[in-house]
Amino acid sequence: MPISNGVPPSAPKYEQVMTPSEGIVPASSDHPGDAPTSAPHVSADEQQEREETAEDLMHGINSFWAVVWPVVAVVNCRSRALERSMGSYLVYNEVQGADAGQVVGHSLVNALVVIGFVTGLTFFMALLYKFNCMRILVGYIMFSSSAILGFVGGQLVDTVNDTYLHWPIDWVSFLFIMVNFSFVGVVAIFYQKVWHVWL
């Protein structure tokens, strides 16, 4: 960059600061009357409430993933019965004696269905976040957490009991235990502030 007389030809204007909502504001402005008043005023309580809502949502999401990863790691060591049940998510099941082209085509359709579902759900959640539908998002995450704790946890406990423990248990008691486990798990994940007050 050429410098003439020790000053760059296009020196930045440090006396002005550009903000997206207010336009150009003098940087040396110490007086509240100097700034334009066209921007909407957000009270400190409202700003704090927004920050707490965002913090609570992020804490819930992180807690959700803290529950999901160990469950997924254990479920990857699944039994044959669980592996057979995974076929319910496929559009085309594997056919014995099919030629290679047919197998590749069926695999691509299965992959596209799963990817399309995940993509659609991701865009739906992004739209909910964009339009500030936090209660729906929190409810969805709470429902997902309870479903994972209840269904996947129940399947895991049932497999461990059938394989290693062989404890006799009826389905009514088992269902009662797993529903309580999922509800208490959701309360422990999303309402930790309440637990600190009670303890």
My answer on whether 110 and 148 are in the same domain is no
Average pLDDT, rounded, for the chain: 75
My answer on whether 138 and 170 are in the same domain is yes
Report pLDDT digits (tens) over 26-39: 544 444 444 444 54
Structural domain ending residue among the three candidates 86, 115, 132: 132
Report the chain's terminal Cα–Cα distance, integer Å. 65
My answer on whether 142 and 192 are in the same domain is yes
Report pLDDT digits (tens) over 78-117: 555 556 666 666 777 777 777 888 888 888 888 898 899 8
The amino acid occupying position 2 is P
Helix axes 134-147, 171-190, angle to 10 degrees: 140
Is 128 within a domain?
Answer: yes
CA angle, 195 then 198 then 199, to 5°: 85
Structural domain ending residue among the three candidates 113, 132, 151: 132
Q: Considering only CA atoms, which of 149, 160, 182, 144 is closest in space to residue 78?
A: 160
Q: Considering only CA atoms, which of 181, 187, 135, 152 is closest in space to residue 68?
A: 152
- pLDDT given at position 174: 93
Q: Is the pLDDT of residue 179 over 80?
A: yes
My answer on whether 126 and 138 are in the same domain is no
pTM: 0.48
Is 183 within a domain?
Answer: yes
- What does the block give as tokens for 34? 């100097």
Report pLDDT digits (tens) over 18-73: 544 555 545 444 444 444 445 457 788 888 888 888 888 888 788 777 777 777 77
Is 92 within a domain?
Answer: no
Is 177 within a domain?
Answer: yes
- Domain with 181, as residue range(s), is 133-199
Is 117 within a domain?
Answer: yes
H helix intervals, 76-99: 80-85
CA distances from 123 to 20, 60, 120, 129, 139 (A): 26, 20, 5, 10, 17
My answer on whether 128 and 139 are in the same domain is no
User: How many distinct structural domains can be found in the chain?
Assistant: 2
Structural domain ending residue among the three candidates 132, 147, 179: 132
My answer on whether 109 and 146 are in the same domain is no
Is 193 within a domain?
Answer: yes
Is 194 within a domain?
Answer: yes
- pLDDT given at position 84: 64
Q: Is the pLDDT of residue 119 over 90?
A: yes
